[in-house]
Amino acid sequence: MNSKRRKVLQFTALVSFMAGSGLLSEADAAEWNKAAFAAKSMDDVMKALGGGLPEKSDAVTLKAPDIAENGAVVPVGITTTLKATNMAILIEKNPYMLAGYFDLPDGTEPFVTTRVKMGQTSNVYALVKADGKWFSAFKEIKVTLGGCGG
C-alpha cells in the first residue's frame, strides 16, 4: 500500500507538470456562472441557470442529515430516477443561494455527493435538470452550536 501510494504521488507530480506546460487540454472547463452564484433569490438563480423554475418531484432525492453537528461541513447528496443532465444545490438562508452546479454527461449516473457550508438552520434544495426542465426536492437541515463555544 505504501509503495503503491508513492507511485501515485510520483505520477501526480508528472501530471501536474504536464498540466503546467499545457499538455493537458482536456481540463478546459466551462465558464463559471457568475450571475447564478451571485444571486440572492431562487428566482435570480433560476434566471441565471436557465430552464425555468423547478417543479417539486418525488423522483428527486436529497440525502442529508436532519441535524448538522457543524455548519461548516454539511454532507449533501442528490439522486434521481430522472435522466439528469445537470444538478444543483441551493441553500435558502445562505448569503448566496447557489452552492454547487454539476454537469452530468451521457454515461454518468444521476448522482452526486458533496459538502456545503450553512450559516444557519435552513431549507436545502436539490435541483435536477432533465429534458430541459428543473425538478426539485428539499429538506430543512438544522445547524447546531457545538463544543465549549469559545
Using CB under 8 A, which residues numbered 28 to 47 contact another protein? 28-30, 32-33, 37, 41-43
Chosen residue from 50, 83, 108, 131 binding another protein by CB under 8 A: 108
9 DSSP 8-state letter: H
Chosen residue from 101, 126, 130, 135 binding another protein by CB under 8 A: 101
Number of residues that bind another protein (CB under 8 A): 77
Say whether residue 81 binds another protein (CB under 8 A). Answer: no
Say whether residue 52 binds another protein (CB under 8 A). Answer: no
Minimum distance from CB of 101 to another protein (Å)?
4
Which among 64, 88, 26, 61 is positioned nearest to 141, based on CA atoms?
64
Chosen residue from 104, 126, 128, 130 binding another protein by CB under 8 A: 104
The neighbouring-strand residues paired with 126 are 89, 137
Other Cβ atoms less than 10 A from the Cβ of 105: the count is 6
Quote the cell numbers at residue 26.
Answer: 482536456
Three-class secondary structure of residue 77 per DSSP: strand
